[in-house]
Structure 1
Amino acid sequence: MKTFALSLLTLWITFACRAQNVSFNQGGTTATHYYEEIPYEVVGTKMFIYVTIGGVRHKFLFDTGAPTQISSSLAAETGATDLSRTPIGDGTGKRDTLRIVSVKNIQLGQVTFQDIPAIGYLPDIFPCWDAEGAVGSNMLRNSIVQILPERHVIILTDDAGRLLLKKRNGIPLNTALDQQSSPFIQLIFKGTKRVFVYLGFDTGGDDFITMPGVLLNQIFPYKVCTIADRGIGSHLYSEFGLGKPDSTYRVLIPSLTLADVEFDNTTAEVLKVGMARIGARLLSYGSVTLDFIHHKFYFDPTRDKVDMTLPFWPVSPIIQNDQLFAGVVWGKMKDLIKPGEQIVAFGDVPTERTPLCAWLVHNPLDSVAGTVVVKIKGADGVVRDVSMTKE
């Protein structure tokens, strides 16, 4: 049985190999003086590029919050060799063993990377995107990567002089916090004191900001955030199963700063496990440059102040066996809907059968605002109407 959360489609592999005895920081490119403009496609908040392996183009997720990944079939087809089998933790805290392989050659544009370590396995969600792998931070660690959302282009180079970089938009970039060179940056949360918070920049992450409970406990005394909502259930999916239902929170961060850009009224999900991260939604507000070579992060904003006020549904759904269920239930809605109850209709949209891939293509929750009536099937099989509002 496989369970996926629709409120958090960040890949479970994001948590892979943190604190594991394996380094993904091996291999690389011998190219010099290179400059490549690589177009990318967007599906939801996910970014996809095409790589070439063995002379054949393959669609890969672009994910700075994870190591490089490759499907087991493509690994076998292209002759990837085993490096090790290692214990791995998923987003629910459950554990298994996964294969780590070395991919002999991966080409981005005209730049070839050799002997790149990769997770030799993909979650079942990848076929929904026709993707066969992911380009991760370990593969990019000796390059400069500029993401230009207005053009849907990723620039890959080793020469900062070929990019337009404004010094005032730059902050330090730390890639030494894990074994895959994940890019971490400092944000400033403002409360009774200015609190400096490290977050990973994760293009595979759907939300603007998510944080683990341990971070919330550290920063809460400084009044940089307030509890905006309380929920019960599970909003983490896993290839190994659903996380145990538990209490969770949404917090409101009144003011935070990234490279002199102010973000007001940011709502963040609090997770039981995982890293604090800022996701691909940052690209809605400007371009990003990851200068892995000189350890600098640049954010070139479209404006200097952003109001992040957003409405949320009081239920975060999950899909299990092609059926839609209540994952996390928030606020007063906890008195009307229980976690795990089936959602058989959302307004005028029947959801009794909801294949995951179809939901990814068209999620009715994204296109509906205000108040909607959902049909809920209880454990006794009785269907009832419940009105809920996005606010």
Structure 2
Amino acid sequence: MNLLKSTSIFWFAAILLLSQQACKPSFSTIVKFGRVSAEDFKETLDFDINRGLIILPVNIKGETYRFLFDTGAPNSISKSLQKQLKFKTLSKGHIVDSEGNRSEVKYVGVDTIWLGNVPFIDQTAFVGDFEANPAIKCLNIDGIIGSNLMRLCNWKIDMKNQKMVFGKTTLHTAENYPQSLSFKTDKQYNLRVDLETGDATLTNLKIDYGSNGSLSVPDKVFQVLIDRNIIKQTSTISGQSQKGITGEINTSQRQTAYLDTLRFHTLAMQDVTILSGGSGLIGTDLLSKAVVIIDWSQQLLFFEEVDNSPIHESTFGFTVGLSESNTPYVQSVRENSSAHEQGIRPNMQVIRIDYMDFSKSHSYCDYFLGKIDKPSITVVLKDEKGVEKKVVVEKRPLHP
């Protein structure tokens, strides 16, 4: 849709906390469960991309399901899948998503997850409510292939050609992949890296294929980059956010800007969008610009076929969310955008966007999964007094 390009889905940038329970193992114990039965293998999978996120075909007990590929979260299965397959509960605890929202979850043991012809045995997964957040619900996924499964082999991710290779064997050669970056892991097996921009080092950033954004950093880090004149011009996005598995709606005011260069050790990416207010992660908007290999045996990332052509992104300047009453509304607005100048403000009810009429046959998912490649669109809204407003909004460069 690209109404507001810098708005992203920060899926499960989460801290997992497990309640103490008698006779129940801790999360740090059960996350280590799992193995691959094959000793030496190399498998290739085709995948779909929805809203910049990788959706893999996964086979469990003879049925094929849609799973999100997410390096920033542990394995997960939906409540409906757990109700159907009734996996054994290993423990219970709480998950806190990237917005600080806390919800109770249970961890189950999935006997076998098949990716292609490769069985991943005794996998720990938390049971997630994939309908609490409207954006996640629109993706229609059954689960998540997470970092605790990925650690068992090496991965080559080619988002341009929508192919993934994984195996115990080495998936790179020094000649083809001269650009590399070391990573660290935590108890959840998240991938953590240090990057450089200007004279600053951004530490402990998460490589997150479960986020379709570019680069996000905490507010304090964003301000340091401003103070050091690494960031020279910013724009503010005001309104609300609805991210993470809980789907809680939070008031949000974030800043966005461009970085001239972001350095992944020897690899430099140009004109990188950066967003404040995040937990510190790199999403698929950046990761899709290269073929990436995750080599767990060496704890290295390798990059090939890097696309460093200038990105001339544009935006209408607003995003749409779904209220608790299932009504589309203006979720956030970017200052100095066409939407802002036309009087569009957060919390206005959205009745129509171009051909999508939400008062008739179209749904929020039509908006979320759709795309409008036009220089201008007509938007019909209703303000807090119930007065309808019809405006024409133009697409403008993301960063002039």
TM over 0.5, yes or no? yes
Report how many residues are paired: 376
- Please state whether the residue corresponding to 2:297 is helix, strand or coil: coil
**Residues 251-330 of structure 1 mapped to structure 2, 5 A cutoff:** 251-271=257-277, 274-303=278-307, 305-320=308-323, 321-330=325-334
**Rounded Cα–Cα distance in structure 2 between residues aligned with 1:68 and 1:196:** 27
Shift of 1:46: 1.7
Of 142, 145, 163, the match for 2:172: 163
User: 48-57 vs 122-131, which deviates more?
Assistant: 122-131
Of 57, 60, 70, the match for 1:53: 60
1:102 aligns with 2:109: yes
User: 133-142 vs 106-115, which deviates more?
Assistant: 106-115
- Please state whether the residue corresponding to 1:244 is helix, strand or coil: strand
1:379 aligns with 2:384: yes
Assess if the C-alpha contact under 8 Å between 1:232 and 1:334 holds in 2.
Answer: no
- Matched AA of 2:365: C
Task: Report sequence identity in percent.
Answer: 20
1:359 aligns with 2:367: yes
Of 184, 192, 198, the match for 1:184: 192
CA 368–168 in structure 1, closer or farther in 2 if over 3 Å, else same: same
- Matched AA of 1:188: E
- The match for 1:111 is 118
CA 390–84 in structure 1, closer or farther in 2 if over 3 Å, else same: same
1:199 aligns with 2:205: yes
Assess if the C-alpha contact under 8 Å between 2:216 and 2:281 holds in 1.
Answer: yes
CA 156–360 in structure 1, closer or farther in 2 if over 3 Å, else same: same
Any stretches of 5+ residues in structure 2 without a counterpart? 20-25
- Please state whether the residue corresponding to 2:148 is helix, strand or coil: helix
- Matched AA of 1:296: L
Shift of 1:325: 1.3
Of 228, 235, 247, the match for 2:253: 247
What is the TM-score normalised by the length of structure 1? 0.86
- Matched AA of 1:61: L
Assess if the C-alpha contact under 8 Å between 1:195 and 1:219 holds in 2.
Answer: no
- The match for 2:12 is 13
- Matched AA of 1:15: A
- Please state whether the residue corresponding to 2:71 is helix, strand or coil: coil
**Rounded Cα–Cα distance in structure 1 between residues aligned with 2:241 and 2:113:** 34
- Please state whether the residue corresponding to 1:17 is helix, strand or coil: strand
**Residues 3-82 of structure 1 mapped to structure 2, 5 A cutoff:** 8=7, 10=9, 12-17=11-16, 22-23=27-28, 24-82=31-89
CA 352–242 in structure 1, closer or farther in 2 if over 3 Å, else same: farther
**Rounded Cα–Cα distance in structure 2 between residues aligned with 1:15 and 1:280:** 17
- Please state whether the residue corresponding to 2:314 is helix, strand or coil: coil
Assess if the C-alpha contact under 8 Å between 1:69 and 1:135 holds in 2.
Answer: yes
**Rounded Cα–Cα distance in structure 1 between residues aligned with 2:306 and 2:180:** 15
What is the TM-score normalised by the length of structure 2? 0.84
Shift of 1:7: 6.6
State the Cα deviation string for residues 297-322 of structure 1 (Å, max 9, x = none).
0111344x332342233222212344
State the Cα deviation string for residues 140-194 of structure 1 (Å, max 9, x = none).
113110112344221111111x534545211102223xx321122232211xx24
- Matched AA of 1:329: V
**Rounded Cα–Cα distance in structure 1 between residues aligned with 2:204 and 2:10:** 20
**Residues 340-359 of structure 1 mapped to structure 2, 5 A cutoff:** 340-352=347-359, 354-359=362-367
Assess if the C-alpha contact under 8 Å between 1:137 and 1:181 holds in 2.
Answer: yes
Shift of 1:287: 0.3
CA 145–22 in structure 1, closer or farther in 2 if over 3 Å, else same: same
Two-structure CA RMSD over aligned residues (Å): 2.8
- The match for 1:388 is 393
1:131 aligns with 2:141: yes
- Please state whether the residue corresponding to 1:357 is helix, strand or coil: helix
- Please state whether the residue corresponding to 2:64 is helix, strand or coil: strand
- Matched AA of 2:166: L
- Please state whether the residue corresponding to 2:279 is helix, strand or coil: coil
Shift of 1:48: 1.4
